[in-house]
Amino acid sequence: MTHEKKYVLVIDQGTTGTRAALISHDGSIMGYAYHEHTQIYPRPAWVEHDPIEIWERTQQVIKETLELTRINPKEIAAIGVTNQRETTIIWDPRTGRPVYNAIVWQDRRTSPLVDYLRQNYFSVIQDRTGLVPDAYFSGTKIWWLLDNVPGLRDRARKGEVIFGTIDTWLVWNLTRGSKDVLTPERGGAHVTDYSNASRTMIFNIHKLDWDDELLEIEGKIPRDILPLPRPSSDKRIYGYTGPEISNKLFSGVQIPVCGDAGDQQAALFGQVGFDVGEVKSTYGTGNFILMNIGDKPVKSRANLLTTIYYSLEEGKAVYALEGSIFITGAAVQWLRDGLKIIEVSDEVEPLAAAALDTGGVYFVPAFVGLGAPYWDQYARGLIIGITRSTERKHIARAVLESIAYLNRDVLEAMVSDTGIKIPRIKVDGGAAENNFLMQFQADITGIEVWRPVVLETTSLGAGYLAGLAVGFWRDLDEVRHNWKIDRIFKPRMSLEVRERLYKGWKAAVQRALGWAKEVPWAYGLQ
């Protein structure tokens, strides 16, 4: 580490907003800025973002973070990027203009295409990608865009457009115009890391490359539009910040962009989950639970995903089992913005705690289907058990409890797949600050919940990956020493009560499964 390099800059681009943070060598977040972006809902179950707005917000939060911390850009060793995964953008590299809004990972418009894949190619997709065919992933989103944006398929064949998930979009914009990039012919670094590539449903996680047969199966996607897959921490450097951005944001300093990971993989990395069997759960818009399974992929028998966790070397990767829960924190936002029974999200904890129990109410947050371990894209949200005595506090409590129940569903599947007894759950994300939820999580699983001092572990993970690439941190052991605990939540609920409550949850889920298939016209699926 050179004497003048003191920080790593991280861009954490999430589903609801974008954060920039400066991380010091001891893993402290020295300052950050955050701004939300617009959620676009053109039809029921369709979710879009404006890529230009996301890039503008990214520049805004970088600028505000540097102004807040008053550091010299020369002190920044590297830039790391982490991102909402699966969200799909196709753009013209000559103009930098997207051909359509970003189709968000939550979007379900491609459900009919997924039905076709499930019926005909389920095994080949699962075997090669580690994924269960679902509208969640990028492949069918690309397919939909090629079929529905006028002239796009022809432009793709001619090489006039390129595809990327959000990490690729941001890295390309950060390095645009730089001569020192891995893909100069694309006008910027047109790259992704193995972890993000593994979320597209067109990437072979065994060969660590795009799969030509899957490209053909999933809508004849031209290989030339795809980014170059690289390690999550790349000593070759994806690229340096381009002249326009360097002058605009970094006082002319060109900074290496060399760390990249999907947000959930970055969170486990930030939780220093480097040992096989380590588990983390991130409480964000959705909940995402990852278990480190080492350097060989394990095929799940319990409807989990086998995904790439991270890579520090070209051609090699560490893998994880993942349970993806689509809607958790977003359900609290719905209480605030949809039902309007709270004014700000922080009100949900005291409101829920005011109820001794839910009064028999269960809430299933299947707003966009259910992910692991159910994988029912036709499930829809449900509140059941309402009586005349039900109050808003009962509904608030049921919403928080549903998050913990969904986590238990996934954790039980992980134990089934690996035979590993989970000693603790490391938690992070915004809702990990909710003491009521964390205690109920420990109670309903019977597993200790460990909350670290720094909850923004997604940012930390991306920062560590970027810093390792340039020698800011020497190795994983040096990173490991940065992790510090805030609080441990120990289970205190009796086994009898735990199992009785969980049995009620499973019954409620059964009533939510497949609902949209019964009334497809209500959800724009017919």
User: Is residue 233 a part of any domain in this protein?
Assistant: yes
User: Is residue 246 a part of any domain in this protein?
Assistant: yes
Same domain? 125 vs 241: yes
User: Is residue 12 a part of any domain in this protein?
Assistant: no
Q: Which residues contact 498 (CB under 8 A, 6 or more apart)?
A: 443, 444, 446
The C-alpha torsion from 130 through 135 and 137 to 143, rounded to 10°, is: 110
Domain count, the chain: 2
Of 216, 232, 254, the residue at which a domain comes to its end is 254
Domain that holds residue 42: 36-52+84-254
Summarize pLDDT for 359-390 with one digit per residue, the tens. 999 999 999 899 889 989 889 999 999 999 99
Same domain? 47 vs 184: yes
Predicted local confidence at residue 377, as pLDDT: 82
Q: Are 45 and 523 in contact (CB under 8 A)?
A: yes
CA distance linking residue 32 with residue 38, whole number of Å = 20
Of 254, 277, 300, the residue at which a domain comes to its end is 254
Same domain? 246 vs 341: no
CA distance linking residue 319 with residue 69, whole number of Å = 36
Predicted local confidence at residue 3, as pLDDT: 46
User: Is residue 340 a part of any domain in this protein?
Assistant: yes
Q: Are 472 and 75 in contact (CB under 8 A)?
A: no
Same domain? 364 vs 247: no
Q: Are 400 and 392 in contact (CB under 8 A)?
A: no
Same domain? 248 vs 333: no
Same domain? 512 vs 363: yes
Same domain? 206 vs 104: yes
Question: Which residue, 415, 340, 329, 406, is CA-closest to 374?
Answer: 406
Same domain? 235 vs 364: no
User: Is residue 375 a part of any domain in this protein?
Assistant: yes
CB atoms within 10 A of CB 39: 15
What CATH code is carried by the domain that includes residue 131?
3.30.420.40
Same domain? 240 vs 382: no
User: Is residue 497 a part of any domain in this protein?
Assistant: yes
Q: In the chain, how long is the greatest CA-to-CA distance?
A: 68
pTM: 0.87
Same domain? 410 vs 494: yes
User: Is residue 513 a part of any domain in this protein?
Assistant: yes
Summarize pLDDT for 296-330 with one digit per residue, the tens. 998 888 889 999 999 999 999 999 999 989 889 99
Structure tokens at 185: 């012919």
Same domain? 242 vs 349: no
Of 194, 226, 254, the residue at which a domain comes to its end is 254
User: Is residue 58 a part of any domain in this protein?
Assistant: no
Same domain? 239 vs 140: yes
CA 155 to chain CA centroid, nearest Å: 30
Give the residue ranges of the chain where pLDDT is below 70: 1-3, 525-526
Predicted local confidence at residue 302, as pLDDT: 86
